[in-house]
Amino acid sequence: MIPKLEAIFAPLSDAKSPGLAVLVRKGGRAVFARGYGVRDLRTLATIDARTNFRLASCTKQFTAMAIMLLAHDGKLRYDENLTEVFPEFPSYGKTITIRNLLNHTSGLQDYETLMEQEERNGRHHRTAETQIQDAQVLALLEKQNSTIFPPGTK
């Protein structure tokens, strides 16, 4: 199996091109973990099995599908509001539904803008090593008291 995997991924990158990491698990254990190409074109630092990728928007479709499966199984409703899922969320979350989140019509403030504001105010300087985590994004949003537009309107 490993030679076949190598044959698939090796041609996709070289020592000077952006690359990828591959992990194959079987029976609960890693049977293949390799990096190909580089993670930084300036330094040509290579990708290995432990390279941390900031996936950001690449995960949206997987998250959406997981939510759809939860809705299909009756564990979540599209019209459920944010405060039903996160009871500690401020009251403005009562107007935001799961459907709004999936459709990108929630009106939630952009967390990257909120991060920049915090950095300008001398709080939380972020680097590649200290990237923001999901719980920290939620905490930033919980500090706000409104959306940037009424949910469902844009």
pLDDT in tens, 53-97: 777 677 889 889 999 999 999 999 999 999 999 999 999 999 999
Whether the predicted model's global pTM rises above the 0.95 cut:
no
**Would you list the DSSP string of 73-132?**
TTSS-TT-BHHHHSTTS-GGGGG-BHHHHHTT-S-PPPHHHHHHHHHHTT-----STT--
Q: What is the pLDDT of residue 80?
A: 97
Report the share of the chain in percent with pLDDT over 90.
50
Higher pLDDT residue, 23 or 98? 98
Residue 112 has pLDDT above 80, yes or no: yes
| Average pLDDT score, the chain | 89
Q: In the numeric block, which tokens belong to residue 49?
A: 């099995």
List the catalytic residues: 57
The alpha-carbon radius of gyration of the chain (Å, integer) is 20
